[in-house]
Amino acid sequence: MGWLMPAETDPQERIWMAFPPGGYALGETAEEQHAARRTWAAVANAAVGFEPVTMIVAPDDVEIAARYLSPEVSVRVAPLDDAWMRDIGPTFVINHDGGLPGSSAARLGAVDWVFNGWGAQDWASWGKDQFIGEAVARFAGVELIDSPMVNEGGGIQVDGEGTVLVTETVQLDPYRNPGMSKADVEAELARTIGATKVIWLPRGLARDAQRFGTRGHVDIVAAIPSPGTLLVHRQNNPAHPDFEITGNIIKFLAGTTDAAGREWNIIEIPAPETLTDDEGFVDYSYINHLVVNGGVIACSFDDPMDATARQILADAYPGRRVVSVDARELFVRGGGIHCITQQQPLLP
């Protein structure tokens, strides 16, 4: 059967994160740095109420991190450039076939994608982060699966049954994978995460296409809470550029099917009413949430739409308790709760 990335709703062993070490994500002023550390820690401290959380911390930040993190959050030390664990860390996969002579036991692996700063962005540094995938696999004691493809965990969404959502502007980015075709990308996704059906979104959100964006990560646009169902970001205000973009994405997805041939049950999650911040139109999205054992860690924005989104998530993930964390300090830095976390599945 080979390697397969399980659904994010499958049982989990733990959540991996990274504590912001410096650079643009941490901020320049003491106030900005405190806001970043407080928000990263708030996500970890919420998640550890559901399952173990391990935080990768740069050597110089161990004492600082201890002041913010719950004692229940475990710490591993490794050099870091940044703190977006979904992207710099590995993607965990399971081989249910065993793959070893005479063995039928499932194995856990970690796909170590090439990371190059979201397509060699001029503001990014990745000399240390490019080794975090290998480091996390070693800390977790799992098999390392090397991939030559530049990819990030925020650039894929799966249903655990072979369906994978990606974006043309990410995997086919000439600054990520020059010369790779869709067929090449699909073959590598099949080898590493068990993709049998790859759905290519044409693009991501407007702000994500700007200078400090990822060029179109899917995990701010769509999520798969259960096979055959899609949660999709919808901007309802025509004044926002994402009004047209999300309308086109929803129309596109409505014309696709999953790996099993099912038409999607599409559930729209409205964007917050907040349209702008100091940098322009925001890409605030409730899609960028984290599923944990028995719960969901959801983004909030001190916005009138928070309660509506929370109820939609509760309905989409029945039996899970939804806990909200103010994610504005994450989004102003370029991501959300899903972006700073990575789940390690529990072996069956």
Distance of CA 128 to the CA centre of its chain: 20
299 as an active site residue: the answer is no
Closest CA to 327 of 266, 269, 283, 265: 283
Rounded to 5°, angle at Cα 303 from 300 and 309:
55
d(Cα 58, Cα 139) in Å, to the nearest integer?
A: 15
- Residue 28 is given by DSSP the state S
| Dist. CA 110–CA 147, nearest whole Å | 10
Rg (CA), the chain: 19
If one counts every other C-beta atom within 10 angstroms of the C-beta of residue 240, the result is: 21
* Cβ 299 vs Cβ 288: under 8 Å: yes
- From 309, 325, 339, 340, the catalytic residue: 339
User: Going by C-beta distance under 8 Å and a sequence separation of 6 or more, which residues neighbour residue 126?
Assistant: 81, 82, 88, 115, 116, 117
What is the C-alpha separation between 6 and 190, in angstroms, rounded? Answer: 13
User: Any residues with CB less than 8 A from the CB of 165 and at least 6 apart, and which?
Assistant: 156, 157, 158, 199, 201, 218, 222, 224
Q: Would you call 31 helix, strand, or coil by DSSP?
A: helix
Please calculate the CA angle 68-69-72 and round it to the nearest 5 degrees. Answer: 155
Q: Which residues are catalytic?
A: 339
